[in-house]
Amino acid sequence: MRLLLLLWGCLVLPGYEALEGPKEISGFEGDTVSLRCTYREELRDHRKYWCRKGGILFSRCSGTIYAGKEGQETTEGRVSIHDSRQELSLIVTLWNLTLQDAGKYWCGVEKRGPDESLLISLFVFPGSSRPPKQLDSTSAEDASPALSSSSSKPRVSIPMVRILAPVLVLLSLLSAAGLITFSSHLLLWRKEARQAMETQRNEKVYLSHLNHRTSELDPEEAFEISSPTFLSD
């Protein structure tokens, strides 16, 4: 039984964590995006590639681009890949994105048996939906070289919503717990204040009733009522 489980794990889960990289990247039409897939030391000398996922029932590659030797960059169309064996990483760059480029891609390494691969989703947004950039007239000329240089650099877009969502949920829970604790303390304080006010009111009523009664009696009887009584043995 243990042998069957081991064989199943080798077939279904080949190369677990052998490749690491972003699960999603995104950009607007005309942008240049770049990503980095890192691999393990034992895969240094193996052949790396980049391809688009195809097929419905069975996954297959289309438009496969293979990395060249160490230090060589391979370019086909608007895609280039570079295998940096010193950094144990495969760098992929896509230029001038189009809406048709959106889809799922494989970052893979050939080896004996099933290849090591990492599935990456590419999202491309229309250029018309790009938020406008606001620059002052005085700083537009100074900022233009920086913008041109930054636009040529590869960018990796990571959705911040997935990162901030757990933090926002935790803050909401903490705020709710604090509000509940404050409300319970406030209700307890109001209850104690109400009881204290009722006690004072009862004491005032008792004293006024006692004073009214003693005013109707003789001085000696009033003295006996107001004075404490001592019992003798």
What is the rounded average pLDDT of the residues 5-19? 50
What is the rounded average pLDDT of the residues 189-199? 84
What is the rounded average pLDDT of the residues 67-94? 93
Which pLDDT tens digit goes with each residue over 103-115? Answer: 999 999 999 999 9
What is the rounded average pLDDT of the residues 23-50? 96
pLDDT cut 90: percent of the chain above it = 41
pLDDT at residue 154 in the model: 45
Whether the pLDDT of residue 152 is over 80: the answer is no
What is the rounded average pLDDT of the residues 179-207? 82
- C-alpha to C-alpha distance for 188 and 174, rounded to whole angstroms: 21
Distances (CA, A) of 160 to 108, 112, 130, 163: 26, 38, 17, 5
Q: What is the sign, positive or negative, of the torsion defined by CA atoms of 39, 40, 41, 47?
A: negative
- C-alpha to C-alpha distance for 227 and 195, rounded to whole angstroms: 29
pLDDT at residue 216 in the model: 63
Whether the pLDDT of residue 159 is over 70: the answer is no
Which pLDDT tens digit goes with each residue over 114-151? Answer: 999 999 999 999 998 888 876 555 544 554 444 444 44
Reference 20, options 6, 3, 38; nearest CA is: 38
Whether the pLDDT of residue 222 is over 50: the answer is yes
Distances (CA, A) of 95 to 5, 74, 156: 44, 14, 13
Q: Which helix (H) or strand (E) holds 64?
A: strand 60-66
Query: 84: number of CA atoms within 13 Å, CB side?
Result: 11
Name the superfamily (CATH) of residues 17-125: Immunoglobulins (2.60.40.10)
Least confident of 23-27, 57-61, 122-126, 136-140: 136-140
Residue boundaries of the structural domains of the chain? 17-125, 161-214
Q: Highest-confidence range of 1-15, 56-70, 145-159, by mean pLDDT? A: 56-70
Q: Is the pTM of this model over 0.75?
A: no
Which of 221 and 210 is assigned the larger pLDDT? 210
